[in-house]
Structure 1
Amino acid sequence: MLKKILISGVVAGALAGCTDSGDVNLSPTNISNGGSTSGGGSTSNVCASYSDAGQTFQGTFDGQNCNYNSQFVSSTKPITVSSITFSNFGGLHVFDDSLFIGDDVNATAAQAGKRIPQEGEGTRLNIAAGVTMVFKNTDGYVRIARGSQIFAEGSASSPIIFTADEDAILGSATESNRGLWGGLQINGNGRTNKCHDGTATGSGSGGSDFLPTANNVHNCHVTAEGRPATYGGNNNAENSGVLRYVVVKHAGFEVVDGDELNAITLNAVGSGTTISHVQAYTSQDDGFEMFGGAVNMDHIVAVNVGDDSIDYSEGYNGDIQYAVVVHTSGGNRCIEGDNTGGSRNDGFTPTTKLRISNLTCVTSNIDENAGTNPSGKGDSEGPLFREGAYFEMYNSLVTSNATSMASNECLELDDSEGPQTIDAAQAGTSIAKSNVIACSEPLKAGTGAFGNAGFDLSNWLAGGGINAQTPANSNTNNVVFSTGQLAADAGGSVLVDAGASARDHLTAASINDGAGNPVFNQSTQLFDVSTLGGSTFKNPTYLGGANATDNWLSGWAVGLDKALTP
């Protein structure tokens, strides 16, 4: 159904060959898997192999797929040779356990003098275009140790898929099946405010954990979610590899008690890393989560994510351009930003700040534990910025696929745990330009606990100046459709009608009111984000994440060609 709006008074204005050195050998052989299992009776084994400590390990080829048991790789037997490649031979790469890449040097080992690997000093994982990596155990996942790298470079016609056996082999997985396996975790040597509290004391010995120690490159060691692994360092420009045209499906299993993984976790990953055209689909926890670091992303997709589609904290500072988030049913927020969280001081540095342009956030109006695919993570909502998180949002569209665009809050700023997030809005550190919020409950500001009771979010989006708590600012060209201004089938448009068997996610060519009058002109009201200092942004030509003239999701992204079943 075409998303329609009736505007009775639009608020517009200032509101987006194997050797012991560890090189991989992919030549057809009869090498065994773990030194004990034959290659499925075939004289040609196309599976990945590596040599370590004089022993060769290779997957078992069953004539169709490559199978890798726990003697080949597991959570207790990581691959630590120089490189390994998984080729596209026409079948699946199937893992009994986890795929752990690289040597995890934890705090104890580092303080004893074992060098913390830096970018490229660890193991390099190569995955060819068109490959599908399948995980049979619910607690299996991919972990890239800091200093190691992943190069998963697919294409629109040959994306790389990470998924569970219920999906790729049994064919039984549905959109309700979140958390069938763990997910993808990359650990980097970037900065995190868990290693620095802004008082020049750090959390270890010395002036700051970012500084070199007597026997190592830094003293920053944060334990990752999942099984014990370590991230953090002092290099926000570090390179952890490339993800291009990659889809992670059905992830988010609770791999240890009380600890669910995300579809894609980026722990202190640096800006030298490339993440472009990547999707999280049907995950139990978050879609993309960044703990510190400064990785930039473009053309990312999150569909049917159970918790937050994009989540950032711990001093993350990065740019995202062209993001499409669709809540198909139960799910929590399109974006959740925190600086610290928990009982930690919200003012710790480095301060968390996301810059995002060209987001399309489509909520569902489904509450927690309700809907066709229920989630216990919270209600379906738009972006929430809180706990000291800063943000800049440009050229973005937040709306709802529900009838009359019925919604929970579509943009929220909260200061219930500390004043820093709203303080940043008041000071002009956080910015919003050229955004459209089209929801029945468009805005919410949780103020009052720290003296920000007079802050007016609507006026802040419009340029401020209404009172001392909402001073004048540089925000411009934001349009908000508020409660009472929306009606179904009233002649206005926000999203293109994708038909009864698809999900609306493309921005309409013209954002019109009920009388057909444009209320946001995409030719004149967009903000040129390419002018922002130090950014990777391109000057956009349309509002939101994608439109009919630039449908970059076509051919590789999944879950958008299904009927909407809230």
Structure 2
Amino acid sequence: MKRIQNRVVLAAVITALLAGCDGGGVSVEPKTVDNSVDNSVDNSGSGSSENPCAMIESSGVQGTYESGNCRYGTDFVSASNPLTEDLYLPALSEGGAHIFDGSLFVGENFSSDADLQAAGIAKGGDGVKLEIQAGTTVAFKDNSAFMVVNRGSQVFARGTESAPITFTSETDVRGTVTADAVSQWGGMVINGFGVTNKCKYKGSIDGGDLDLEGECHVAAEGSTDDNTSYYGGDNNADNSGELSYVVVKHTGALVASGDELNGISFDAVGSGTVVNNLQAYSTFDDGIEFFGGAVDVNNYVALYVRDDSIDIDEGYRGSITNALVIQSENDGNHCIEADGIGSYEDTIDYTALINQGLNSRPMIDGLTCIVSAQKEGTHDPGAGWRLREGIYPMITNSIIVASFKADETADDGSNYCLRMESAQTRNEATSGTELALTSNIFACEDRTKTDEASFDLAAWAEDNGNQFAPISGAMSPTIGIDTNFILLDGTPAIYTVAADQQRINDAVPTVTAFERAYLGALDINGTDWTQGWTYGLHQGSRAQPLWFE
């Protein structure tokens, strides 16, 4: 009965959310400021020299054009010298890159309501706009440099399937990095005015009367000295711009213990922001991390992420639809690490905060996780989903496979598929209606990790429409290798096979897709949304084959 109730509740929630998502169809068209400058010099009547680099119009400072690339010094932009006017970065001919010696801070950072009000900034769009043309490469000198879009400002990076936008390192541009190198530059941080449970509120989100108590200015990860930036507010519909067909490569910087730059940090970013077709490639820390907010992500790829491919915290209430996560053969931590409450250890009244709807409540649909069951990577062993600190997730139509290679520490629980760590989360799973895991297949030798002996997580999962494949040693889930265990196939083997071809223990799985045609991120008979723009997956656009090919 619990399983049926969860499915009914989940369907109702999804229907309600879709009905209220009018903002998802809004197209925000910024005014294009083309500040690339034609400084042609024609001495012969037949030849010319042109500087296509961007210019700060108010100061006249322009990038230097050298060997097909544009280089920008800290006099152009840096953490202490942020952009204060709109900027346009054009695609350069022959694959040239815009290379920044320092950090690229878009808009000014403000740490008080008074300063925000004085600057006329209350929402995304009030500040500076950075627009990046399809096909552009943006690169950074080293890992002391990173990109920040401050509150009120926006980035419009609209790539296409045939002309994605790439954020990477100068070493990558020069061709001096290995395929899985990390920490070549910092990463991207987007700060919004969305809700974060590190701030205090009255009212509730679902009641429609949530309002701040006092001010909300949370220091972003990677914040020190001039690099400090803040996020937070009470507008989960805030708009920080658009990222479409964007690839972020070779990121990561350790700022302090426990304070590391991710591939992309979405800090209280609102649902008015458009994120479609996004990749995090070879990152030292997390691929993407959400600190509150409600931004939705469609079509996400995480490849060679050394920590958590998807990290959720501080009351995130957005959705992630279609996500492909592939860890390295011998590195990577969680496919998902999801926390409900940002300051969990310091929170006294969990019930009050949860009743306000301030804990994380993500919706994840269509996820494929290919996990490395290694003993010890850069951070921790490879694992599946870690759900903790009062989180209420809804995760559907997903597959975790940790059996392409044998579990290095079989039966010790380290390489688990599923872990439900906090009492608040377990209580909601057994007696509430706001948490649901259904139509998921788990294929790990360590099925679960136990945090409460009286709660049988595996039994609960199976009772709620999920299935565990019996795994012992290395078992490939592909056609032609083991006919008793078939989930994925294709070139590479990242596509879910048709339901009637799937096998778990030599039988068609008991799990069926919920309100869609297939499990996982990619249907072998459907449209391959990863083709043409991603890096590292397909022949012709990668430095090495995937380790399980």
Tell me the TM-score normalized by structure 2: 0.81
Change (3 A) 1:292 1:247: same
Q: 1:101 to 1:460 in 2, by over 3 A?
A: same
Equivalent in the alignment of 2:217: 221
Alignment of 1:413 with 2:420, yes or no, is: yes
Supply the distance in 2 between the matched residues of 1:486 and 1:167 (Cα, whole angstroms): 34
2:162 maps to 1:157: yes
For 1:190, the equivalent position in structure 2 comes to: 194
Would you say the 8 A contact 2:145–2:185 is kept in 1?
yes
Q: Which residue of 2 aligns with 1:469?
A: none
Distance 1:440 1:304 in 2: 22
Residue 58 of structure 1, CA deviation: 1.4
Aligned to 2:107: 102
- Compared CA separation, residues 443 and 318, structure 1 to 2 (3 A): same
1:429 to 434, 456, 467: 434
Aligned to 2:376: 368
Q: Distance in 2 between matches of 1:58 and 1:155?
A: 27
Q: State the alpha-carbon separation in 2 of the partners of residues 243 and 487 from structure 1.
A: 37
1:248, distance to aligned residue in structure 2 (A): 0.3
State the match for 1:359 in structure 2.
Answer: 367
1:513 paired residue among 503, 519, 524: 503
Identify the match of residue 123 of structure 1 among 118, 128, 131: 128
Q: Point out where structure 1 has 5 or more consecutive residues left out of the alignment.
A: 1-13, 32-40, 201-206, 214-218, 370-374, 448-452, 464-474, 529-539
2:247 corresponds to which residue? 247
| Structure-2 separation of matches of 1:266 and 1:279 | 14
Give the CA deviation at 1:111. Answer: 8.2
Shift of 1:336: 0.6
Superposed CA deviations along residues 244-263 of structure 1, whole A, max 9, x for unmatched, are 00000000112467531000
Letter in 1 for 2:81: K
2:55 aligned partner, one-letter code: S
Alignment pair present for 1:88 and 2:76: no
Does the CA-based 8 Å contact 2:143-2:252 persist in structure 1? no
**Cα drift, residue 181 of structure 1:** 0.7
> What amino acid does structure 1 have at the position aligned with 2:91?
N
Q: Does 1:331 align with 2:337?
A: no
State how far apart, in whole Å, the 1-side matches of 2:504 and 2:455 are: 31
Q: Which residue of 2 aligns with 1:11?
A: none
CA RMSD across the alignment: 3.0
Q: Does 1:526 align with 2:506?
A: no
1:105–1:441 Cα change, 3 Å? same
Counterpart contact for 1:495–1:505, Cα < 8 Å: no
Q: Deviations over 1:67-125 (max 9, x none)?
A: 111100111100011x1110012221111111110011112753895544411001011
Counterpart of 1:303, as a letter, is: L
Q: Deviations over 1:441-467 (max 9, x none)?
A: 1222311xxxxx42221222233xxxx
Deviation at residue 153 of structure 1 after TM alignment? 0.6
Equivalent position SS for 2:334? coil
Offset of 1:137 from its aligned partner?
2.1
Relative to structure 1, the CA distance from residue 209 to residue 230 in structure 2 (aligned partners, 3 Å threshold; closer, same or farther) is farther
Distance in 2 separating the partners of 1:338 and 1:85: 37
Does structure 1 conserve the Cα–Cα contact (< 8 Å) formed by 2:487 and 2:502? no
Q: Give the number of aligned pairs.
A: 482
Matched, 1:397 2:399: yes
Q: Deviation digits for residues 499-543 of structure 1, max 9, x if unmatched?
A: 6xx5x322122453377532257xxx2111xxxxxxxxxxx3211
Question: Do 1:59 and 1:72's aligned partners in 2 also have CA atoms closer than 8 Å?
Answer: yes
> What is the alpha-carbon distance in structure 2 between the residues aligned to residue 312 and residue 110 of structure 1?
29
- Relative CO higher for 1 or 2, CA cutoff 8 Å, sep ≥ 6? 1
Q: Cα offset for 1:321?
A: 0.6
- The offset of 1:563, in angstroms, is 3.3
SS state at 2:305 partner: coil
Deviations 1:165-221 (A, max 9, x none): 11112x121134111111111000000011126799xxxxxx98726x7xxxxx211
Counterpart of 1:519 in 2: which secondary structure?
coil
Amino acid at match of 1:225: E
Contact 1:357-1:395 within 8 A present in 2 as well? yes
Is the 1:139–1:254 Cα contact (8 Å) retained in structure 2?
no
Check conservation: 1:322, 1:545, Cα contact below 8 A: yes
Aligned to 1:388: 390
Shift of residue 380, structure 1, vs aligned partner: 0.4
Moved more, 100-109 or 338-347: 338-347
Q: 1:496 pairs with 488, 513, 517, which one?
A: 488
Residue-by-residue CA offset, 1:352-381 (whole Å, 9 max, x unaligned): 111100000110111223xxxxx1x11100
Aligned residue among 130, 142, 147 for 1:137: 142
Query: Which runs of 5 or more structure 2 residues have no equivalent in the other structure?
Result: 1-5, 11-30, 42-46, 539-543
**Alpha-carbon separation, structure 1, partners of 2:35 and 2:385:** 47
Distance 1:385 1:515 in 2: 28
- In structure 2, do the counterparts of structure 1 residues 505 and 480 end up closer, same or farther at CA, with 3 Å as the change threshold? same
2:52 maps to which of 46, 52, 69 = 46
3-state SS in 1 of match to 2:370: strand
1:441 is aligned to: 446
Could you tell me which of 20, 26, 33 is aligned with 2:36?
26
- For residue 535 of structure 1, what is the aligned residue in structure 2? none
Identity score, percent: 37
Contact 2:407 2:473 in 1 (8 A): no
Q: Write the distance in 2 (CA, Å) between the matches of 1:360 and 1:43.
A: 49
2:540 pairs with 1:563: no
Q: Helix, strand or coil: the match of 1:138?
A: coil
Q: Go from structure 1 to structure 2 and tell me whether the alpha carbon gap of 1:405 and 1:155 turns closer, same or farther (over 3 Å shift).
A: farther
Aligned to 2:23: none
The one-letter amino acid of 2:522's match is: A
2:486, 2:504 within 8 Å by CA — same for their partners in 1? no
- Offset, 1:279: 0.3
Task: Judge conservation of contact 2:317–2:361 (CA < 8 Å) in 1.
Answer: yes
Distance 1:481 1:496 in 2: 13
Task: Give the equivalent residue in structure 2 for 1:261.
Answer: 261
Query: Structure 2 matches for 1:267-306, cutoff 5 A?
Result: 267-306=267-306
Give the Cα separation in 2 of the matches to 1:71 and 1:190. 32
Tell me, yes or no, if the aligned pair for 1:295 and 1:319 is still in contact at 8 Å.
yes
